[in-house]
């Protein structure tokens, strides 16, 4: 029988991210057992010192700490539900991308089974794991986080957000939402310039510094939102922020104005409600009260 040490880790799921997580542990000298549903993904890890388990059950039994990084919430339950007995008394770290409510459901499932559960949101692409600039957000079992923070730091900067298992996922999706909308704005600008023969690379060289500078405005918007005073002096009014001319300029280029049009709809709803003289930050109220 394999001897089990308190620092042993099993990683279930060897997609790009799971392989990166397992690889960082192996590189750090952590005794690591790996498993993947389909074969052929563990060769490099085994060559580096990992042990490959033939089954998920074997992987779970090999370590007191089990890390799962699978496709989605359903796949987590598909793999782990039959292994509740083996997982009981162990610590489970779920780094699969799931919604906040799915993370909370998994935490309740784990609690019923006597499993210490920690949820995580990975703010990195696989190549960033183990490198500066990567971050993983955690919520759920404070004890699991405290006990294994040093190990988690082999992957990325580790930040704990509390015992509500859904909070890490909530922060994750909030940050990614901001990112994707920003990227869509960049694509909007690149599409506008393309008919004029401007390559996206030239636009990127301009947009990067501009967007970086504009992030300095976030703290001011946050202060207004938290204070709730959209009429405070110094704010650009919603009427002034009307994006009608932007949409006209975009469509004149023969491209879709959908990203900017989305922002204009948020603005217009507040103007129509009589708030045109108030600041741009008020569009958050259009998001808080979605249109029917």
Measure CA 289 to chain center.
24
pLDDT tier for residue 1 given thresholds of 50, 70 and 90 = very low
Q: How far apart (Å, rounded) are the C-alpha atoms in residues 107 and 214? A: 38
What are the tens digits of pLDDT across the range 185-223? 999 999 999 999 999 999 999 999 999 999 999 999 999
| 279, 232 contact by CB (below 8 A) | yes
pLDDT tier for residue 291 given thresholds of 50, 70 and 90 = confident
Please report the domains of the chain, with CATH numbers, ordered by start residue. 9-164 (3.40.50.720), 199-288 (1.10.1040.10)
What are the tens digits of pLDDT across the range 67-93? 999 999 999 999 999 999 999 999 999
What are the tens digits of pLDDT across the range 229-266? 999 999 999 999 999 999 999 999 999 999 999 999 99
> Is residue 125 predicted with pLDDT exceeding 80?
yes
Q: How far apart (Å, rounded) are the C-alpha atoms in residues 17 and 32? A: 15
| 38, 20 contact by CB (below 8 A) | no
Q: How far apart (Å, rounded) are the C-alpha atoms in residues 65 and 27? A: 18
């Amino acid at each position: 029988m394999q001897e089990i040490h308190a620092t042993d880790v099993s990683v279930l799921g060897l997609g790009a991210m799971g392989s990166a997580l397992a690889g960082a542990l192996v590189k750090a000298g952590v005794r690591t057992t790996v498993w993947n549903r389909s074969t052929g993904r563990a060769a490099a890890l085994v060559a580096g010192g990992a042990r490959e388990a033939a089954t998920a059950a074997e992987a779970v039994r090999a370590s007191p700490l089990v890390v799962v990084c699978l496709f989605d919430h359903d796949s987590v339950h598909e793999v782990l539900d039959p292994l509740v007995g083996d997982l009981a008394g162990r610590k489970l770290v779920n780094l699969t991308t799931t919604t906040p409510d799915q993370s909370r459901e998994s935490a309740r499932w784990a609690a019923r089974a006597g499993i210490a559960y920690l949820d995580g949101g990975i703010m990195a692409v696989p190549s960033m794991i183990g490198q500066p600039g990567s971050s993983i957000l955690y919520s759920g079992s404070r004890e699991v986080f405290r006990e294994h923070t040093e190990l988690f730091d082999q992957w990325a900067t580790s930040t704990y957000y509390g015992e509500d298992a859904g909070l890490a996922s909530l922060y994750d999706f909030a940050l990614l939402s901001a990112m994707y909308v920003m990227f869509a704005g960049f694509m909007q600008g690149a599409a506008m310039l393309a008919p004029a023969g401007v390559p996206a690379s030239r636009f990127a060289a301009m947009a990067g510094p501009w967007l970086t500078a504009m992030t300095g405005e976030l703290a001011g918007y946050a202060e207004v939102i938290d204070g709730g005073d959209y009429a405070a002096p110094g704010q650009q009014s919603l009427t002034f922020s009307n994006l009608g001319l932007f949409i006209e300029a975009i469509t004149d280029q023969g491209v879709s104005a959908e990203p900017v049009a989305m922002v204009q709809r948020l603005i217009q709803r507040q103007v129509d409600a009589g708030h045109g003289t108030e600041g741009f930050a008020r569009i958050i109220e259009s998001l808080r009260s979605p249109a029917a």
